Amino acid sequence: MSRVAIEVGAFSWARIQRLYNADATVHWQRCESEGLQCPQEVFKQLCHEKANDEDFAAIASTVDWGKVRWDLEEMSGVALRHMHVDRGYRLALDEARDYAVCYGVMDERKDVEAHWRGAKSWLVPPVAVRGDLLGNEAGAELLVGFTRLGSLLGLLDRQELPEAQKHLVWLGRPVQ
């Protein structure tokens, strides 16, 4: 079977990379016109901003992105404490968490910082998938938003927000 025949049935990470355009909207439209179903907010964070990240490609290349359903879900601080993070991205999470524990959440973008102060949550929901999409037993694995999660965990550690408070997360799961 030829490579083209295989890719017609699957939406591989290589296909997302091949359809890349510097303009996120054009990139999304190209992928959507070929059958990828993905909310634009998820696409921008996951497929566009990570498209040329070779470290991330090692994780993403195992998934048929055409067979992922995306839902915006509420997760508690307790659930977020159990979110799996790939070892290669733990440092970013840990640094953001340590900073938030010591100083709270600070960001050079004033609208982001103001949102954290008011909502005690992130402005843009991070992106995660169920572990079974990646072939592991993790309940959910974070793909994008490591410093956001680290900041939130720091605020939980500081007890600035209740563990039961809900936070929006884009969660991908296998299409049934």
- Rg of the chain in Å (alpha carbons): 17
Q: Who's near 1: CB < 8 A, 6+ residues apart?
A: none
Q: What is the pLDDT of residues 132-171, one digit of tens each?
A: 998 888 789 999 999 999 999 999 999 999 999 999 999 9
Specify the pTM: 0.90
- CA–chain centroid gap for 108, Å, is 21
| Averaged pLDDT for residues 86-114 | 92
Q: At what angle do helices 146-157 and 90-103 cross, to 10 degrees?
A: 40
Residues in the chain: 176
pLDDT at 9: 64
Q: Return the percentage of the chain with pLDDT > 70, whole number.
A: 95
Q: Is the pLDDT of residue 5 over 60?
A: no
| Averaged pLDDT for residues 101-114 | 89
Average pLDDT, the chain: 91
Identify the CA nearest to 48 among candidates 71, 70, 68, 32: 32
pLDDT at 10: 86
Given the structure tokens 């839902």, which residue do they identify? 71
